[in-house]
Amino acid sequence: DARVTQTPRHKVTEMGQEVTMRCQPILGHNTVFWYRQTMMQGLELLAYFRNRAPLDDSGMPKDRFSAEMPDATLATLKIQPSEPRDSAVYFCASGAVGVTFQETQYFGPGTRLLVL
Amino acid sequence: GENVEQHPSTLSVQEGDSAVIKCTYSDSASNYFPWYKQELGKRPQLIIDIRSNVGEKKDQRIAVTLNKTAKHFSLHITETQPEDSAVYFCAAVYSGGGADGLTFGKGTHLIIQP
């Protein structure tokens, strides 16, 4: 049963520190998404990549957030410097683009981030 | 961009009764509408989806209907069971045939009363 994996699962840090979250998409999936979930805003799309190239990062605060895909099996989301308002659950999801309709996205377990 | 409104925010029904959750979307170009179920502390999981060329889709006790003219879609759960208790999210996106960034509704907390 292929699944998206994320590390760390929980992270507590102090304001101003750098935070790096990692995601391993399902093998063969060529599209990777980063979503953020908070009580107030719900689930929001931050950025996504297709074939490792960024397609849309309009939902991401550019001054402190950055997302990359160093290779097809690893996506990273970095916050530097972190702020208390960044506290949220960050989900990675992966999906495919192919010759048939394949819109389904599969979510990872999330990284629960608390910035003090 | 797309905007998705979801109602109600909380829904409490008796076990065995039906539950209906409604969503509206703003972008007439959107053509893919998934529904996700999220249990406390867990990841969102796809339970059913519908494309714009279909008006209704059913999978056992779960069904989704889509009205493109009115730009709204609904989730119907029949014969509700305790394990249906969770938060349900609708979403919408224009998809060219593959996975694209979803715009989610704010979620509905479904409570099944024994």
Half-sphere exposure of B15 (CA within 13 A, CB side): 6
- Find the closest chain B residue to A47 by CA distance: B101
Instruction: Output B41-49 pairs: Cβ under 8 A, ≥24 positions apart.
Output: B42/A109, B43/A91, B43/A107, B43/A108, B43/A109, B43/A110, B44/A43, B44/A91, B44/A107, B44/B89, B45/A107, B46/A104, B46/A105, B46/A106, B47/B88, B48/B75, B49/A103, B49/A104
pLDDT average, residue stretch A25-41:
94
- Find the closest chain A residue to B87 by CA distance: A42
Top pLDDT among B95 and A107 is at A107
Q: Please state which of the ranges A16-20, A89-93, A94-98 shows the lowest mean pLDDT.
A: A94-98
Please report the residues numbered 71 through 100 in chain B whose beta carbons come closer than 8 angstroms to any beta carbon of chain A.
89, 93, 95-100
Q: Please list every residue in chain A whose beta carbon sits closer than 8 Å to the beta carbon of residue B100.
A: 31, 48, 103
Contact of A24 with chain B, judged by CB distance below 8 Å, is answered with: no
What whole-number distance in Å separates Cα of residue B74 and Cα of residue B22? 4
**Mean of per-residue pLDDT scores for chain A:** 93
- Find the closest chain A residue to B35 by CA distance: A104
pLDDT at A99 over 70: no
- pLDDT at position B64, please? 98
- pLDDT at position B80, please? 98
With the C-alpha atoms ordered A115, B3, B4, B9, is the resulting torsion angle positive or negative? positive
Contact of B9 with chain A, judged by CB distance below 8 Å, is answered with: no
Q: Please list every residue in chain A whose beta carbon sits closer than 8 Å to the beta carbon of residue B49.
A: 103-104
- pLDDT at position A100, please? 60
Contact A37, A91 (CB under 8 A): yes
pLDDT digits (tens, 9 = 90+) for B14-64: 999 999 999 999 999 999 999 999 999 999 999 999 999 889 999 999 999
Beta strands A10-13 and A111-115 are: parallel
Contact of A44 with chain B, judged by CB distance below 8 Å, is answered with: yes
